[in-house]
Structure formats: structure tokens, C-alpha cells
Structure 1
Amino acid sequence: MERQYYELLAKRYKNVGEVTSEIINLEAILNLPKGTEHYITDLHGEYHAFRHLVKTASGSLKIKIDELFGDILSLKEKHNFSKLIFYPEKILEGINLNEYERRHWYRVSIKRILALFKLVSSKYTRSKVRKALPTEYAYILEEFLTLNSKDFNKEEYYSQIISTVIELGIADDFIIKSVNLIQQLSVDKLHILGDIYDRGAEPHKIMDNLISHHDCDIQWGNHDILWVGASKGHFACVANVLRISLRYSNLKTLEEGYGINLLPLGRFAMETYEGDPCKEFLPIANSDELFNDREQYVRGQMHKAIAIIQFKLEAAVIKDRPEFHMERRMLLDKIDPTKGIIVLNGKEYKLTSNNFPTIDPKDPYKLTERESEIIEKISKYFKKSDKLQKHAHFFFSNGNIYLKYNNQLMFHGCIPMDSNGNYKCFTIEGKEYCGKQLLDKFEKLARRAYFKGD
């Protein structure tokens, strides 16, 4: 066994000196403080809120500013400096000072930024910090890392570096890139615990941001896996994604984010439900989006149209998986259109709307020819969206149904349990799975469906 270890070491290191050097390095790293981990969940498309959480490290950067400057700066000065650290571009755009005042402001701000940079980088190895440095300012920033407050001989040297940055007209760029570096170093690992999609208007921007993040992972949420299924053109997933988007009047993600053409659904809905007030299906208004009564009405019609399509498509899925006992979710066959009622558990309930022109009472779960055409066409749009495909793939390259990290178990939602607190078992493909084995099976099925299409 020892010989095998020696052979493995020999492949990576040339001599004993290199081995001992690496051992010393690793032992030293183990004694560094743990990197900060940031946990965020249920983003639901709220891109601006997400960016604020990431930029501020959920408040931990403000704590570091207080720790660093304590009583040196007033509360107002610390507040203004915090805003510069969180939103440098916005603050720099708003500066309205004369030339002398501007140069002084730059000098003071850069010194404070460099002090904060030194603090947030202190928990990492020099090698790790060096890899994160922006290329054009790597030399300057690395020099300031070695700055010692007692090193009077170099005080003028460091001061001249700052002066040169200002004189060359690159102070804004230097500040922005240095602040971005501070934001990056303030969080070593970002954990997203599910539900990036739905309700909010910009989950696609969140995904772009996560893909460019230096180190993040995702634990799949139910809304996320729904979009992944839609990216593969799964009819029921596509219908569900469309229904939720219309419910929250959120078409920005579909149309602008992923280039999904909703005109076929719009035309069908307006023709099929002409004159129907569709009041039960009117969307929940998005505060960021204003639309008139006509637009609201059309979206209500589209919402109703896709909801009926979804109910039909889900029935087929439920029938394919009888082991999940989801039959109670099949409702269309329980509607009595002549009486305008639905019968649930032997009890009759009056419907607030009884206009279902696409439901055949003799075969309520059969799609009409137009419905089939629409779902097939829109599903192709989902499959052809390059950005959606890129985002869906990221869920598998950087995500799992659960994750164990630093002695923490992370997952979205819940683990099925029975009334006695024991793991609830499900039969899948003829075998029972519970607890961890159940989640492992779910993940295996999800990956198989995504990569093999079955």
C-alpha cells in the first residue's frame, strides 16, 4: 500500500522537497479561517433583490466595514462608503465635485477600498487571492497586500501609486474592479437552495449571473426542475411553465429572456374564449409592469386556455405513474357541464364559470386538434432557445437534488415522512425508495431524462 502512495506522489512531485512544501502549505491552509458561505433560497425571478444580496453578502460586508473603520469614520461616512462598495457604478456616476475635490475624494476612497480589500483577503492564501485579481491591476493590488502600517520607507511609494491611478484617469475603473474583487472575496461559496424561477420577471438574468459566478452550486427546486423539463419540450412542463407565467403576468422571462413566441397561444385563446370574462384567470399584476384592461383580459384568456391544456396533459402523466397515487388531481372528468358543478369526494360544488368549449364530456382529457398544434409548436420554441438550453444544462453541471458541504445537508423543500416521523417510501420502477435513497433515485431519473430523453 505504501508503495502505491509513493508512486502517486511521484507522478505529481519531483522530489521530497516538493512533497514537504505541499504538506506545509496544506497544513497552513487548514489553519486559515473558513471561507464565508452564502445561502440564498426562493429567489423566484427577483433579479435586483438577488444582486443586492450578492453585492452586500447579505450584510456581512457592512459588518466588515464597521469592524475595519470603527470609530475612525462617522456613521454617515461609513454609510456612504458602504454604498460605494455595493454600487460603485451608480455612486461614481453621481459624483458632482470640482477637480480638486474629486481628486481628494478619489484618494480617500481608494485608500479605504484597499484597506477593506486587505481585510477580506486575509482569510485566503496569497495564491488564491492572486488568481482572483483583475489582470490589469494585479500588480498594484498585490503590492498593497504587503503594505505594513509601520513601513514608513514605502509610504511615499504607495501614495504615488494612488496618485498615478488618479492622474491617468483610470480611478473609476480601478475602483469598480477593486470593489468587484472585494464582493467576490467576501463570499467564498454561494449556495442557491432552489426555486430560481417563476413569479419574478428576470430569472434568466439570475442564471446568467450564477453561470459567471466564481463558485456556486444549486439545489434543485420544484420550479427549477419544471423549467428544465420544459427546456426538453415536455408538454406538461411547458404548459405548467406557461400557466404560472400568465398567472403572474410574467411574460418577460418567456418572450425577452428566452425568445418564446406566445402568439399561437394568444390567437387561440382570444378565439376560443371570446366574450368569456375569464375573471377567475385574470393575472396577478406584476408591480414592475403596467398594462391596460385589454391586455389584462387577453392574458386572462391565455391563462384559461393553457390551464385547461395543462390539466389534460397532466392527466396522462398521472396515468403513467399510478404508483404516485395522484388520481385526485384529475378533475375534468368530475365536472358536470349541464349542471355547472364539480363533484369532489361525493360532494357537489357550483362552478363560478362553466364555459369549457375545449372539454369533451365523453373524453375530457383529450386535447383538441388546435390544442395539440399549439403545445407542439410552443414546445419546439422551448427546445430551440439557446439561452434556455444553456441555463438548463447549468442545473446539472452545478446542481443536485441535495448537497452535503461542510457538514451541512442542503435541499429544497422537504423530505417525505409519514405521520410517525419515519421516511415515507415510494415505489418507483418496481422498487421501494425512502429518504436518501429516494432523493438519489429522483436525481438519477432527472439526469437520465435530461441527457437520454427517456
Structure 2
Amino acid sequence: MTQELTKKLLQEKFPTREAITTEIINLQAILNLPKSTEAFMSDIHGEFAAFDHVLRNASGNIKIKIEDLFNGRLTSKNQQELAFLVYYPSQRLKIIKKNFAQAEDLRQWYLDTFAQLLELLKYCSTKYTRSKVRKALAPEFVYITEELLYGDFASTDKQNYYAQITTDIINLKSADQFIIALCHTIQRLVVDHLHVVGDIYDRGPHPDKIMDRLMKHHSVDLQWGNHDILWLGAAAGSPLCVANLLRICARYNNLAIVEDAYGINLRHLSLLAEKYYQDNPCFAPKLNPQEPKPSNAELSQINKIHQAIAIIQFKLEGQAIDRRPEFKMQDRKMLEKLDKHQQKITLNGQSYPIVHGCFQTVDYQHPYQLLPQEQTVITQLTQAFVHSDKLRRHMDFFMQKGSMYLVYNNNLLVHGCVPVDEQGNFEGLTINHHLYCGKELFDLLEDNLRSSYADSHQSTDLATDLLWYLWTGPVSPLFGKRAMTTFERYFIADANTHFEKPNSYYQLRHQSQFITKVLHEFGITDKTGHLINGHTPVKKGHSPIMADGKMLVIDGGFAEAYHQTTGIGGYTLLYNSYGLQLVTHQPFTTREQAIKQLSDIVSTKRVVEQEVARKTVAETDIGKQLKQQIQQLEELLATE
């Protein structure tokens, strides 16, 4: 935008000298407010109930504010009851109201609860302007809430006025709606902005519900994770991404998300699977003990689908590797390494027996050629993903709010890694005779992803093939390993062949000097900068805080599949005016149990970094924007 156009727009918005000076005063004042709270989450993997609970309790922050405010006035039990009312107002109101036999007792509870919630709301809103708080209030209760929130209850002149308002709320049977509105506003104000550092999809059963929840969130950004890329790729028309996605869903007994949530018919895939495959113990789905066990017939169907789509995947991968020699993945063409009888495979000069093979549709002479029925099935499935309205809405939101990386308030948010060699030199990918590495690699991959998504009719162009590369490529920032040994884990018993060598980044990220180098590559030179990762679950006994506090890994394992490895139920990170706090969450049970028994996720907080003086809005990215606006307004004022 040119300076002349900017000036013209400002003149239209602030036509008088008084309007300009009022806005300057307003913006200058905002710069002195405390920095609002950011929350960071990653690797949610479809675990909606746990994600939703952490969002509702603001990573334990709401409970802490209740303790700060009401210690000495409310018992621990009453504080817990108030906290859960804020988390789940609709559900808790139904339970609470059953405990009152007398209408007058319920009326008094309403009056007491109004007072407590209003006091808590006022406490949570101290970092914001009245204008911002007003925008967070439920529209139908804005006037009433502001009168009660900012009222002078010590004044005898207005005591009857305030009493009449609260009495009428109850008499007009609006008490429940008013409480629900107050609770939702408190949830909104405690955390001002949410960062999700990748992997909303796969493993758990309800990524679609997570996306619906995020689309209603007041302020959020998303960094794409490797599992998210499969769904973006499927919506962009990549058969390779579709095959990988369906294989993972079958592996974790999550095909319902494809059929029920996104309306994609798997009948033709099921018929293909039934025609060519038998039950195979290697392809039995992993079951969640908390979910109902499928029938034997359902397990058999999933098993066969799992095999069918895995073989289609391996064939498509061979085709893509031949199509893209620049990917340097020739060693991952696995089907051609099988012997003629498909009983043995030769890797790096060593022969291994095949266990639980299922290569009925693989032609020894042309191993990567799809059968006509396989081609028809994967084409139909790809088109179904492209044309799923609900998936398109979710992926449009992903594209609107998402990115390969984000620099925000001196923090670099990256899901996986920044690929480097053993010496810490940036590694890259050569496309059209140009080597892309470091930040330039991220920008290339994001540009291609956006291009592929915008034109979902291409399935074998470079941009779409790069989506699959992001999932599994040797220098993919989202994968972070040299090779994905899916084939070996299915068909070779020797565990040595299963090893996936991680990028050297994961060793070097413990060193402060290396993290400083990475931050500089992305334009962060401030000494207070941090690099925030997800992707790799932090194992028991390992610290998520590395490189003298510059490196933070917040994948603590939301997914049930990772709980045994991590020993916890996930990490979240909070960044407020006082500094950075890492929050550890215990595994979530069920939403119903939490609401009924007031069983919160037990959270412990660890201070990562504490500010000497409280950080203000002036020291944030928003503050920089406000300073620019002030400068423009002052220049406009000088011409008046």
C-alpha cells in the first residue's frame, strides 16, 4: 500500500483533528498494557476431549486465577466447583440445579454465582481495554454485563438499581444463559491467542471436531504438521496422500473419520480388499482400549482394507520416485527388491525373509503398475476427497490460518525441524538446478503447497508431488528423518531394518549456539528468542527444555498411542507478561467423568523464563504495528 493511499484511508477514518488525537491517545495507552497471554499446543492427533478440556481450562490458568482471587473466601471444593462451572457451564448447571429442592435456595445460588463470575471476569479483563472486553461479551448480555462489571456497588444511590438487574435476570428465566455467557467470556479472555504447532490429524478419532472448535476460536494460528499435510494433500488431489492417509486410518481403526465425518465412501476399496486379501496378523488395527471393540467381521474388513491400500501406496510411491529423481529416494522403491517368489527381499546387499506378505496384486516384472481395479479405486477416492464439502471447509481454514513456520513475538514456531547435516549446515532440496535450504526451503515448500491446493485437478505435477515429499522426504522439515521404513515394519522381522535415522537437527538442538544460528536464519536476532517444536514426543525422563531454555519441545503426547512413551498426557506452553511457563498435563479420562466428578487434568507448571519487568504490548509484534499506526497518525496530524 502506497503512502498516499494510506494517508487517504486514514483521513477517511479520522476526518478531524480531534478524531486523530483521540486515536493517538488510545493507541499510546494500549502500548502500556501488559502483554496478553499466548498458549501453544501441538500434536493433538484427533484427541478432541483432551484438547477441548485444556482449551476450556486455559492450560490450568483459570483455576490459578480462581485460587488467586478467592483463597480465604472459598473452600478448595467451592473453588473446584466454580472452575468446572467456568469450563462446562451448560453441563454443570444441569447437575447443580438438581441439588436444590427449594426455589429460594436456587435463587440465592444464582445471586452468589453471578457475583463470583463477575468478579472473576473483572480480574481476567484487567489487561484489556474496555472495547476489547466488550467485543468478547455475548451480544445479548453486553449492556447488562457492563453495568454489573463496572458498577460502583458501594454507592447507595445505585444499590437498588443493581439488585433489580440481577433479580430480573432470574425472574425472566435468563439466569442460566447469563452464567453460560459469562463463563465463555472468561475462557476467551484468559488466553488471548492460541498457536497450534502441527498435527491435528491422525491417531485419535475426532480431528474434525477439533477443526470445528478451532474455526470458532477468536484468535488462532496453525503450523502444518506432517500428518496434517496428508489431509491437505488429499484435498489437493494427491493420490499418494490419499493412500497414506487411508492406511494410517485403517492402522488405528479410524476409518469412521473418513466415512462418517467427511462422507467419503470406501465401498469400492472394501470390495477390492475382499477380492484379493485374507486376514493378515501384521495388518490388524491398533485398538484404543477406551473405545468399543469392533466385531470380528469389522476387524476382518479393516484388516483387508489396510493391506489393499498399503500395496496401492507402495506402488504409487515407486511411480513418484521415478517421476522425481530430484527427490533422491531411489532406495525407497521397495517392491522391486522382492525376489521372484516374493518370499525374500534384498536391502543393502543383505537378504531378509518376508513375513506376512500380501503381494497378490504385485507383478514381478512391473511391480509399480496398478491393476485396473486399483487404479479405478484410487482415482474415485481421490476425487471423493477433493469434493468433500466438509473437508474442503476444514482445509480452507488450514490454508487461511496455517503456514510452514511462524515468527511471532520473537519465537520461531516449527512443527518438525530445520534440516541440517552433522556439522549443522543447512541441508536442502535441489529443484530446477537451484538448492533450497534453511528458510528458503520452507518458503519453497509453502509456495508449492498453496499452488497445489489452489489447483486440485493436477495429481502428478511437481507441486502435488512435493506434498507427498513433505510427508516422507529425506530433507522434509516436517518429517525430519532420512527414510520412512513403513514397508520394513510391515514385512521384515529384523528390527534393525525398522530404524528411521533422525536428522542431525535433533542432536544439535540441545546446543544454544545452534539454536541461535537457526533463529538468525529466520530473522530473529533478539536474545530473548526461542524455537518452539512439536512432532517428537518427549520420552520419560527427558526434558522438553533444551539449549539453555532457547529450545522448547511441546509434544508431550496428547494421543493415547504415545502415553506409554511419554508417561504424560501432553505439554502446553503459556507466554504472558511475566514470561514463559511449560505446563505438563496428565492423561485425560473422559469428558463425562470430568464433568460429573470434577476431575481436572492434573497440571504442573515449570517456569522456563521469567521477565525482570512485566512485558508490555509495546514489546510485542502487535505493539510494533500500533507504533507504525501512531507514526502515520502523527504525520497526518502534522499536515492538518
Tell me the TM-score normalized by structure 2.
0.68
1:282 corresponding residue in structure 2: 284
Which of 299, 306, 310 is equivalent to 2:309? 306
Does the C-alpha gap of structure 1 residues 5 and 49 become closer, same or farther in structure 2, counting only changes over 3 Å? closer
Deviations 1:38-75 (A, max 9, x none): 11100111111111111011111111111111211111
Could you say which structure has the greater relative contact order, defined with CA pairs below 8 angstroms and 6 or more residues apart? Answer: 2
Matches within 5 A, 1:273-352: 273=277, 276-286=278-288, 287-338=290-341, 340-352=343-355
Distance 2:378 2:222 in 1: 29
Distance 2:173 2:344 in 1: 73
For the Cα contact (< 8 Å) 2:307–2:358, is it kept in 1?
no
2:214 corresponding residue in structure 1: 210
Which sits farther off after the overlay, 159-168 or 263-272?
159-168
**1:443 deviation in Å?**
0.5
For the Cα contact (< 8 Å) 2:342–2:359, is it kept in 1?
no
Matches within 5 A, 1:159-308: 159-273=163-277, 276-286=278-288, 287-308=290-311
Q: Which amino acid letter does the alignment assign opposite residue 429 of structure 1?
A: N
Distance 2:338 2:358 in 1: 11
Q: Which amino acid letter does the alignment assign opposite residue 447 of structure 1?
A: R
For the Cα contact (< 8 Å) 1:34–1:123, is it kept in 2?
yes
Deviations 1:12-56 (A, max 9, x none): 321222211111101111111111111110011111111111101
Q: SS in structure 2 opposite 1:271?
A: helix
Does the C-alpha gap of structure 1 residues 152 and 342 become closer, same or farther in structure 2, counting only changes over 3 Å? farther
For the Cα contact (< 8 Å) 2:315–2:370, is it kept in 1?
yes
RMSD: 1.8
Distance 2:6 2:169 in 1: 51
Deviations 1:379-411 (A, max 9, x none): 121122100011111111111111111111111
Does the C-alpha gap of structure 1 residues 5 and 387 become closer, same or farther in structure 2, counting only changes over 3 Å? closer
For the Cα contact (< 8 Å) 1:337–1:354, is it kept in 2?
no
Q: SS in structure 2 opposite 1:336?
A: coil
2:111 corresponding residue in structure 1: 107
Does the C-alpha gap of structure 1 residues 252 and 365 become closer, same or farther in structure 2, counting only changes over 3 Å? same
Which of 380, 383, 387 is equivalent to 1:384? 387
**1:187 deviation in Å?**
1.3
Does the C-alpha gap of structure 1 residues 118 and 74 become closer, same or farther in structure 2, counting only changes over 3 Å? same
Does the C-alpha gap of structure 1 residues 413 and 289 become closer, same or farther in structure 2, counting only changes over 3 Å? farther
1:37 corresponding residue in structure 2: 38
For the Cα contact (< 8 Å) 2:225–2:416, is it kept in 1?
yes
Q: What residue ranges of structure 2 are gaps of 5+ in the alignment?
A: 462-640
- Spell out structure 1 runs of 4+ moving beyond 6 A: 1-6
For the Cα contact (< 8 Å) 1:416–1:423, is it kept in 2?
yes
Deviations 1:118-163 (A, max 9, x none): 1111111111111222111111111122124543433332232212
Q: SS in structure 2 opposite 1:45?
A: coil
Does the C-alpha gap of structure 1 residues 111 and 439 become closer, same or farther in structure 2, counting only changes over 3 Å? same
Q: SS in structure 1 opposite 2:57?
A: helix
Matches within 5 A, 1:44-63: 44-63=45-64
Distance 2:125 2:442 in 1: 37
For the Cα contact (< 8 Å) 1:36–1:186, is it kept in 2?
yes
Deviations 1:286-320 (A, max 9, x none): 33242122211211111011000001111222222
Distance 1:13 1:91 in 2: 47
Q: SS in structure 2 opposite 1:343?
A: strand
**1:239 deviation in Å?**
0.6
Q: Which amino acid letter does the alignment assign opposite residue 328 of structure 1?
A: D
For the Cα contact (< 8 Å) 1:427–1:433, is it kept in 2?
yes
Tell me the TM-score normalized by structure 1.
0.96
Deviations 1:325-361 (A, max 9, x none): 1222211111115261111111111111233110000
1:405 corresponds to 2:408:
yes
Which sits farther off after the overlay, 157-166 or 119-128?
157-166
For the Cα contact (< 8 Å) 1:202–1:252, is it kept in 2?
no
- Bigger proportion of residues as helix: 1
Q: SS in structure 2 opposite 1:367?
A: coil
Q: SS in structure 2 opposite 1:67?
A: helix
Q: What residue ranges of structure 1 are gaps of 5+ in the alignment?
A: none
For the Cα contact (< 8 Å) 1:404–1:410, is it kept in 2?
yes
For the Cα contact (< 8 Å) 1:194–1:221, is it kept in 2?
yes
Distance 1:77 1:83 in 2: 10
Distance 2:168 2:433 in 1: 72
Distance 1:236 1:347 in 2: 29
Q: Which amino acid letter does the alignment assign opposite residue 192 of structure 1?
A: V
**1:233 deviation in Å?**
2.4
1:157 corresponds to 2:161:
yes
